[in-house]
Amino acid sequence: MTIYSPTYADDRAQIQDLMGRYLFAMDWHDTETYAGCFTEDGVLDYAMDTLVGRAAIREGAVKFRENVGRLFKREDGSPALLRHVLDQIVIRIEGDRAWTTAFWWEMTDGGPGRTPQIQSYGTYEDEVVRIDGQWLFRRRKIYNEFIPGRETPDPNPVIRFDEVADAAKKD
Amino acid sequence: MNARSYAQDRAEIEDLMARYLFAMDWADYDAYAEMFTEDGELEYARGTAKGRAAIGESVRAFKAAIGQIYTDSRGRPAILRHILAQTVIRVEGDRAFAVALWWEMANDGPGDKPKAGTFGTYEDELVRQDGRWLFSKRRILNEFLDGRATGETNPVLLLDQRAKACAR
């Protein structure tokens, strides 16, 4: 009994690539590429807002670019560099649908003497779909353990998506 | 011989390793124990637990203890997260061997900000049973605990030796 299809490795690799591209687009403020990681009707559910559709997601990314320098500063008050880091990722795939649970953290160059400083960490919960051969986020929910009300809830988040994926498998 | 590709086995094992960390950090002891074979072994700071029930109980006790060590400024158990970085995986049929680098952080820094805790390696033996990769043995080494540090020899060389012996 396996939850992995024979094409799991290839699909997983492509979804991991999407998740990598998303972070480069975010940290380099490439708002066009960032919004392009989502489906046309994609949803981004994060601390500040829930954005629906690529246009709204791109606008949100523009606002983030404008505000991020105020959120994260170096000791001298100049805007800090921000980098998101992605580590362990659980991915369930059923045909052209997939669900991911991943651990992210972020750091800046805002530590003493312009050293790296870890700012926060949390979880991504994604619904991913393959459209015209390309995996895209249909919905990304970003939890952050350092924003009250946005902490990843209990229980183990992997279990929720396993249940959704199991139900999709039966359809 | 199996017809599965290395990429397929590796992808499934990476998924298992990610599931393991979510189970641990969210205290899901059932899911945690089920990632081991029935007679699986977990060897770590608290000794060796053998079998799923013993592994689940051992990790439950460990989590309770660690909640006393890592605390935020108000004395509450900190939000502890384990992080998996590079992973070396050798697959020999329905057996596999892995070495991986882990580290951890928690919200126990100044102002309850994130602070890096310890780091170490995982040394794993895995078995594919009923189409599922499971840990038959996981050794958790921690460079910050006396007697539990990874040895002087590159652990990947030891992994290669074990895999070669298995292939014969």
Query: What pLDDT sits at residue B7?
Result: 98
CB contact, 8 Å: A163 with chain B?
no
Does the distance separating the beta carbons of A145 and B11 come in below 8 Å?
no
Query: What pLDDT sits at residue A26?
Result: 96
Helices (H), B26-95: 29-33, 52-69
Q: How far is A67 from chain B (nearest CA, A)?
A: 21
The mean pLDDT of A71-97, rounded to a whole number, is 97
Q: How far is B63 from chain A (nearest CA, A)?
A: 15
Task: Judge whether B51 and B67 are in contact, CB under 8 Å.
Answer: no
CA-CA distance, A111 to A30, in Å (whole number)? 25
Q: Is A111 helix (H, G, I), strand (E, B) or coil?
A: strand
Token pair belonging to B44: 């770590």
Mean pLDDT of all residues in chain A? 96
CA-CA distance, B113 to A121, in Å (whole number)? 10
Residue of chain A nearest B132, judged by CA positions? A2
Rounded to two decimals, the ipTM of the complex is 0.95
> How many CB contacts within 8 angstroms connect chain A with chain B?
92
Domain range summary for chain B, segments of one domain joined by +: 6-167
Angstrom CA distances, B167 to B94, B110, B135, stand at 11, 50, 18
Q: How far is B31 from chain A (nearest CA, A)?
A: 9
Does the distance separating the beta carbons of B22 and A158 come in below 8 Å?
yes
Mean pLDDT of all residues in chain B? 95
Architecture field, domain B6-167 = Roll (3.10)
Largest CA distance in chain A: 57
Q: What would the pLDDT profile of B72-131 be if each residue is shown by its tens digit? A: 999 999 999 999 999 999 999 999 999 999 999 999 999 999 999 999 999 999 999 999
Of B11, B130, B131, the CB nearest to A9: B11
Domain architecture of chain A: domains with CATH: 8-170 (3.10.450.50)
Percent helix, strand, coil in chain B, to 5, is: 35, 40, 25
* Torsion of the alpha carbons at B91, B43, B66 and B34, rounded to the nearest 10: 60
Question: In chain A, which residues have their Cβ closer than 8 Å to the Cβ of B119?
Answer: none
Query: What pLDDT sits at residue A171?
Result: 76
CB contact, 8 Å: A122 with chain B?
no
Chain B interface residues facing chain A, Cβ-Cβ under 8 Å?
5, 7-8, 10-12, 14-15, 17-19, 21-23, 26-28, 31, 79, 81, 83-85, 105, 107, 109, 113-116, 130-132
pLDDT at A164 over 50: yes
Query: What pLDDT sits at residue B2?
Result: 52
Burial letters B75-114, b for 16+ CB under 10 A, else e: eebbbbbbbbeebebbbeeebbbbbbbbbbbbbbbeebeb
Q: How far is B122 from chain A (nearest CA, A)?
A: 14
Among the listed residues B150, B136, B160, the one whose alpha carbon sits nearest the alpha carbon of residue B42 = B136
Task: Judge whether B31 and B60 are in contact, CB under 8 Å.
Answer: no
Query: What pLDDT sits at residue A54?
Result: 98
Task: Judge whether B17 and B87 are in contact, CB under 8 Å.
Answer: yes
Q: Which residues contact A77 (CB under 8 A, 6 or more apart)?
A: none
Backbone angles phi, psi at B153, to 5 degrees: -75, 135
Token pair belonging to B70: 């890592």
Residue of chain A nearest B78, judged by CA positions? A145
Strand partners, A145: none
Does the distance separating the beta carbons of A4 and B12 come in below 8 Å?
yes
pLDDT at B1 over 60: no
Q: How far is A167 from chain B (nearest CA, A)?
A: 19
CB contact, 8 Å: A118 with chain B?
yes
CB contact, 8 Å: A150 with chain B?
no
Does the distance separating the beta carbons of A9 and B5 come in below 8 Å?
yes
Strands (E), A46-114: 50-52, 82-94, 97-111
Q: What would the pLDDT profile of A6-48 be if each residue is shown by its tens digit? A: 999 999 999 999 999 999 999 999 999 999 999 999 999 998 8
The mean pLDDT of A135-161, rounded to a whole number, is 96
CA-CA distance, B5 to B167, in Å (whole number)? 17
Give the number of residues written for chain B. 168
